[in-house]
Amino acid sequence: MSSLQRPVPVAQPVTLTLEQVKEALGEVLEALQSPAGSARLEEARENSDNDLGKVLQLLLPAAVQIQQEVLQNYGFSPDGEGVLRFARLVKSFESQDPEIAAMSNKLKSFFLPPLPHSGLSAPSS
């Protein structure tokens, strides 16, 4: 390896207990619902005009950035990969703890825009 090449850092796995996952998830939700977090998300929502492409460009990165700020305190890398690793960890605890499952669903609601009503009704039999 030449002196100009640097080894690529490998993210170390983060292991948290069920209680630590619950605590981290609670802090993420608090950050998203805080006045500053809410303002960032609302601005992104307004700028997206309910356009799914714009939601992905504006709202998703804002929500991910808010999560990154919290999750780095739990040993996750402060980037998208850290957020994905945390999401996988949360998913692994959802079936073990109904509170984590409920918190996870609440977290997902920050990312997924409400579905528009199509005006279609279920077929009657």
Residue boundaries of the structural domains of the chain: 18-111
pLDDT attached to residue 119: 46
Q: Which two tokens stand for residue 120?
A: 């279609």
pLDDT higher than 90, residue 123: no
Residue 90 CA to residue 41 CA, distance in Å, equals 22
Count of beta carbons in the 10 Å neighbourhood of residue 11 = 12
Give the separation between CA 11 and CA 2, rounded to whole angstroms: 23
**How much is the pLDDT for 55?**
81
Tokens read off for 17: 């207990």
Please give the pLDDT value at position 21: 96
User: What is the length of the chain?
Assistant: 125
User: Is 44 in contact with 119 (CB distance < 8 Å)?
Assistant: no
For 104-117, what is each residue's pLDDT tens digit?
A: 999 988 776 555 55
pLDDT score at 34: 96
> Could you tell me how far CA 1 lies from the centroid of its own chain?
38
Residue 125's pLDDT is 46
Q: Could you tell me the pTM of the whole model?
A: 0.78
Q: How many CB atoms lie within 10 A of CB 59?
A: 23
